[in-house]
Homo-oligomer: A and B are copies of this chain.
């Protein structure tokens, strides 16, 4: 169910906001504000330990001995988190692997830390998203 409420603000602030929204490709002020609201709520889900969704993005050198085995082992140890994964060959040496995960923020962070710590993994980043269940 949609509800509606009013926001009052300085004319100059509104015109600044409109400029920013145009630059970011919004066609609709309400949608932009909903996005700001949702962003705050997603941060809250992570800090409150709710079930969340994330993406672990790794760049690694697949020539490194044992790396692929260790990555696979970890994916089994944390099997309850792994939803899917995607592999891209960036060049002869470098692979990009993006692992979609769902579960508790603490466990997901632990998995990301462990993957980053593997020798040959050059860079690892955890992107913090939401299941969308409680974020309409």
A binding-site residues for B, Cβ under 8 Å: 1-14, 16-17, 20-21, 23-42, 44, 53-55, 57, 59-61, 83-86, 88, 90-91, 93-94, 96, 98, 100, 102, 113-114, 116-117, 119, 121-123, 125-136
Identical chains in the assembly: 4
Cβ-defined contact, A102 with B90, below 8 A: yes
Contact across chains for A8 and B13 when beta carbons are under 8 A apart = no
Q: Which residues on B sit within 8 Å (CB–CB) of A7? A: 4-7, 29-30, 33-34
User: Is the CB–CB distance between A86 and B100 below 8 Å?
Assistant: yes
Given contacts A116-B35, A122-B38, A135-B123, contact A2 B6 (CB under 8 A): no
Let me know if B37 and A9 touch, CB within 8 A.
yes
What B residues does A131 contact at CB under 8 A? 59, 90-91, 94
Complex CA distance for A42 and B58, rounded to whole angstroms: 12
- Closest-by-CB residue of B relative to A110 is B25
A106 to B64 alpha-carbon distance, docked (Å): 32
Partner of A42, one of B34, B61, B123: B123
